[in-house]
Structure formats: C-alpha cells, structure tokens
Amino acid sequence: MSIETEIFRRCRLDEGRCLAYGFRREGGDWRLERTFLDGAFRAVLTVDAAGQVTWQVIDTMTEEEYLPLRQTNPAGSYVFGVRHAYEELLREIAAACFSELPFAASQTNRLCQRIQAVWGDAPEFPWSKPAYADSGIFRHPATRKWYAAILPVAWDKVVPGRTGRVELLDIKVSDAAAQVAAYDGCYPAYHMNKKYWLSIALDDSMTDDEIWPLLEESHAFAAQGKKRRAAGTAAAGKGQMAQGTPSSTRKVLTDDLAQEVLAVVAQIPAGKVATYGQIARLIGRSKNARLVGKILSRAEYYGTYPCHRVVNHVGRLAPGFASQKERLQAEGVTFKDESHVAMRQCQWIIQS
C-alpha cells in the first residue's frame, strides 16, 4: 500500500476547508502544490470529482518525479528523510482538508449513511489486529445479531486471478443462490454459510437501490432472534449454537463468536497453520482457545472453511480428524513427527 493510500483511503475532501488551505479548482478536480524540505521537493495532489486522490513528488532541481520515494525499502538516510517529511506533510493536509470516513469505498459509505438514517445503527469495529481492523459489522440493537458485515479483502479471495482489493457486504437472505445468479455484483458468501449469506462487491456493480431490499431482508432476519428466544428454540438468544452443547457453554458459544472465529480461519493461507490460542487472541478472546476448538468442530453448520489448518499450541493434529494430515501435506505443510506440524516453519504469522 502506498503512503498516500494509507493516509487518504478513508478520507473525503472538505471543499470549504481545502479552499482555505490552498487547493484550487482545475476543471472538475481540486489541485494542491506544496514544497517541503526547504523547497527541495514539491508535492502535487489532485482530488477528482469521485474523491480519488492522485499524487506526485517532484525534485525541484531536476523538475522530474522523485522515484526513490517509491522504493519498498528505501536505502540511505536521505531517502528516508524525504519520505518522513512527505508523510508529515500528507498527514497535515489530511487533518486540515479531509473528513474521516468509516470505510474506503464510496458505495460502502453511502450505504452506511442510509443505515444510520433508517435504523440508527453505526458500524462496530470489533477486531483490533491490523489485518482485520478495517472490517466492520452492523448489529440489530434488540437481538445483538449481525445483519451486515463489511469486509475489505483481496479480489482473488472472491474471484480467483482478479487483482486489487474490494469491500464486500455480507448479508443474510432467504435464497442466496438465487440472488448470486440474478446480479453480477453478488458472490457466494466470503466466510459465512453460503446457503443463507451472500457477498456483494461494493464497487457500484449493483446500485444502492438494488442492494437495499436485500439489506432490509437481512435486518429482518436479525430481528427474529428475540422471537426465537421467547419460543425457547435451539440456537436462540444471541445466536446460541445448536443442541448438543452443554447449557453452560451455549451462553458463550454464539453465532456472533462463531462468525468472528471463522472469519479468521478463512484467512489462514494454504501451507500454513494457526493454533486455537492464536485465533482466540486475534479476536480479542485470549482465554477462549477451547471454545475456538468447539466452534471448529461445528464449522460445517456455517459453510466451508479450512479448519484443517488449525492445530494446538505445539502443532498436534486434532484427535479424530483422519484427513487433516493428508490435507496439510498436500498444501506443503511439513511435519516434525507423525502427529505434529513443524511450527517454526509453518505457523501463520500476521505482520502487524
């Protein structure tokens, strides 16, 4: 991710503030030029009508773009100093001229505003790890059940071979397969039960008005939790899991927790493994490693997930999971003995 994308990806230009700061209109765009490092460099920022920010850094001595700034690992103290000064300038511009938005995509933010206006709900960001920090959820206030999740993911997680990133809207509907077939922007659910959930690419493939009735249906499903609890059905309340779980555990084992766990499991790449405790820590529940294991034992209830990529803290395979070793070996995972993964080589490490 570029310096500029990192700083401006969830920002919207405030036209009144930017004019006072020094932006000027050029056709349908806003343009700003600022020198830094005692005039040695000039930053040129352009914001188009859609809110997209483009940029250049010019070496004022040569009047050419300063390309060393774009190196992934800049070498030398001078380039590092230029980069640091440029970042400080961008953050000053962002604070002075932009308003922060909850998400990066324009359509996502429009739908968030509509949800706020109609139901009064704001997105929650329950995950603290950088890899998931931009993922948000919407809950029904009465039942606390999810009715929407916003998931920024790589496109190839949805469409193999497609490059770039997209924000997905995951919602629950009565016939997910029919909606996937009906709309180009709909896909089988990214990490939910594919029978009842679907993913919508928030890239304007579908219009807001096409998406809204599906969101209303998902919202209605979430509202039903309170009625099911009154009727005493299994899996009621805050999404308590299916029968067969002791009542003391069902109070903790909820659909919401299962969805948090499985969202992490879905991210484990082939050739790597994660531990139950690692997953518990990633969702902010470091003491719930055993509950993670119970959720994985029932994962098929929610869809298809790579649960074979989860082992215990010393790399031991799950008891009774006959195909786990074969599946891991097929993905390139190595073993230090018959039943233990070589964790030093194969444990999944998320870079903070």
Does 117 lie in the same domain as 95?
no
Domain-terminating residue out of 40, 66, 100 = 100
Instruction: Give, in degrees to the nearest 5, the angle at Cα 68 between 65 and 70.
Output: 85
Is 111 found in the same domain as 95? no
pLDDT value of position 10: 79
Reading phi first (left if > 0) and then psi (alpha if -120 to 50, else beta), residue 129 is in beta
- The rounded distance, in Å, linking the Cα atoms of 23 and 19 is 5
CATH number assigned to the domain comprising residue 129: 3.90.1150.30
Cα–Cα distance measured from residue 218 to residue 239, given in angstroms and rounded to the nearest whole number: 14
The answer to the question of residue 219 being in a domain is: yes
Torsion sign across C-alpha atoms 84, 89, 92, 97: negative
Residue 253 pLDDT: 64
How does pLDDT run across 263-284, given as a tens digit for each residue? Answer: 899 889 999 999 999 999 888 8
Same domain, 132 and 92: no
Of the residues 74, 100, 126, the one at which a domain ends: 100
8 A C-beta contact, residue 183 and residue 212: no
pLDDT value, residue 35: 96
Task: Compute the distance between CA of residue 287 and CA of residue 314 in angstroms, rounded to an integer.
Answer: 17
CATH number at 302 reads 1.10.10.10
The confidence score (pLDDT) of residue 133 equals 81
Q: Which residues of the chain have pLDDT under 50?
A: 226-251, 352
Residue 238 lies in a domain: no
Question: 268 and 316, same structural domain?
Answer: yes
Domain termination residue (choose one: 161, 190, 223): 223
Give me the residue label for tokens 């209109």. Answer: 25
Residues recorded for the chain: 352
Whether 229 maps to a domain, the answer reads no
Provide the token pair at 276.
Answer: 């139950």
Question: 269 and 341 share a domain?
Answer: yes
What are the DSSP calls for 258-291, one per residue? Answer: HHHHHHHHTTPPTT-BEEHHHHHHHTT-TT-HHH
CA angle 149, 127, 94 (to 5 degrees): 90
Q: Do 96 and 122 have their domain in common? A: no
Cα–chain-centroid distance for residue 37? 36
In a domain, 19, yes or no: yes
Q: Establish if 242 belongs to a structural domain.
A: no
Predicted pLDDT of residue 225: 56
Same domain, 125 and 217: yes
Can you list the alpha helix ranges (DSSP code H) found in 98-159?
A: 106-119
Domain contains 275: yes
Same domain, 8 and 95: yes
- For residue 34, the enclosing domain spans 3-100
CATH number for 96: 3.30.1820
Are 70 and 55 within one domain? yes
Look at residue 145 and tell me if it is in a domain: yes
Closest CA to 338 of 330, 350, 326, 320: 326
Asked if residue 116 and residue 93 are part of one domain, the reply reads no
Helix (H) or strand (E) holding 21: helix 15-21
Indicate the number of domains in the chain.
3
Q: What's the pLDDT score for residue 251?
A: 45
Classify residue 328: in a domain, yes or no: yes
For residues 198 and 271, membership in a common domain is answered with no
Q: Are residues 138 and 36 in the same domain?
A: no
Distance CA 306, CA 296 (A): 10
pTM given for the model: 0.54
